[in-house]
Amino acid sequence: MASNEHPSAIAPTHRPSRAKPKGGPRAGGKHAESAPDAGGEDVVDTGHGPERRCVLSGDHGPRDGLIRLALGPDGTVAPDVRAKAGGRGAWIAVDRVALETAIAKGKLKGALARAFKTASFLIPDDLPAQIERALERAALDRLGLEARAGNLVTGSERIVDAARKGTVALLLHARDAAADGTRKLDQALRVGLDMEGTDTRGLVIPASRAILSMALGRENVVHIALVAPAAAARVSDALGRWRGFIGRNGSAEPCDTPSQGPSALRN
């Protein structure tokens, strides 16, 4: 986490770790052992709980940070971002560009053949687009759930009040939010966290105000403040997978209006 960021400014997001040799040494003298679980999926035991391994990169991490692919009854590969589908699955931890390259070069087909223990399956041409839509839906659904649970606030004045009190755990801006409104809330966030003079700010997410309004069932949702740390962590995880897949995880993201400046999920 950056030194200029208060622990509650941005909730943590799980990130896959670079793969270690099977059974090789890890920090603290631990060893990472790889073995299939009951469903035949590759699970890495790091000594801190089971992790899933990406079939393309070999990276591993908590399942909430990877994307599961499942084999449907008709033999078609489909995204299972909530990891609810039965049967054998495979996990990936690459972004959309890398996945499209792996599909074009036949690497995904080979990796899935090993994971599924069969070559009788179909990878749809629009699999990357399906995954992106599924991750977007999962993130928006999570925001909707937290809204219904009372874990977030909307409306600039309510957010400013919460931010200045230091109770905002995660601040989000729609991609088409106005520059002046975004700056006002970011400044309130810094005041509440006693971090004036730093570049700590909210996160611009890849969704318009119209989409956010529909997701939350409220009118004109431009900014969102998560005020419960646990809820902020859940939303951050969902957004992290979505942004990571489309290539915006942890990097500066230009806003729609050039004068608005960059917004980033700080690490």
For residue 254, the model assigns a pLDDT of: 35
For residue 64, the model assigns a pLDDT of: 87
Ordered domains of the chain (ranges, CATH): 27-125 (3.30.1230.10), 131-263 (3.30.1330.30)
Assess whether pLDDT exceeds 90 at residue 124.
yes
The SS3 assignment for 7 reads coil
**CA end-to-end span of the chain, whole Å?**
4
Q: In one letter, which amino acid is 258? A: P
**Spatial separation of the C-alpha atoms in residues 138 and 236, rounded to whole Å:** 12
CA distances from 3 to 172, 204, 267 (A): 21, 21, 9
Interior angle at CA 156, CA 152 and CA 158, nearest 5: 55
Residue 16 binned pLDDT confidence (cut-offs 50, 70, 90): low
**Spatial separation of the C-alpha atoms in residues 222 and 211, rounded to whole Å:** 10
> From the CB of residue 74, how many other CB atoms can be counted at a distance below 10 Å?
8
For residue 264, the model assigns a pLDDT of: 29
**Spatial separation of the C-alpha atoms in residues 75 and 92, rounded to whole Å:** 19
